[in-house]
Amino acid sequence: MRCEEKGGVSNDLLADRTPTAADLPTPPPTQIHKQPSSGWYWVAGILAVLGLTAALVWGAVGTISALDEVDGFERTTVPGAVTVPVTDPGTMVVYYENPAELARYATNTPTWQQLRLTVTGPDGAVPVSTYRSTARYDVDPGRLGRAVAKVEATTVGQYRVSAARAVEPGATLAVGDNFARDIAMTILGAVTLGLLTVVAAVLLAVVTYRARSRTTR
């Protein structure tokens, strides 16, 4: 005897039916990552330009200011003496100045020993040492200055700087700050500022590029 099921579907038909899309599990929602704006490239470029501009201005203004200080040095003819007031203890530099025409033909700058240079401070004689580096200026038209000695002014007061011997006519002695050191420190600061801003701009551009590359994959 054969038995038929009425009002339903046989188990064999249910087993053979192909699953449809409605029967599949729903996938999790796709996470959408917001792509960084390309405007950050402009920010990096502007940062680099502003940093380099500031560095150039700083270096130029600092150098000009240091050279302007040369005009305010205390001076005397050689042989001669000059009194220099010291309100802020530090290093004083003695410069030998002569006409630029003579300087071009001079083989060597005279030493402070040849000039018989002596310095007397509030507490008596002050040691004089040779200026080892090179510091030259030609601010006053027709005159060339070169550093020959340095003095450590450790006490506030009046310092008398004298040169007892002339080695050529028309020479003068100038006493003032170490303008070459001021220029070097200014340039160092300007270069450091420029490098830091460029490095920061490059890092910002690289981070932006990598972030945009990840969101487009």
Segment 137-146, tens digit of pLDDT: 886 667 788 9
Residue 175: both structure tokens together: 């006493």
SS3 state at 125: strand
Write down the pLDDT at residue 18. Answer: 59
Residues with Cβ within 8 Å of 175's Cβ and at least 6 positions away in sequence, in order, are 73, 74, 75, 82, 84, 92, 93, 94, 95, 159, 161
pLDDT digits (tens, 9 = 90+) for 87-118: 989 999 999 998 765 555 555 688 999 999 99
Question: What is the pLDDT at residue 16?
Answer: 54
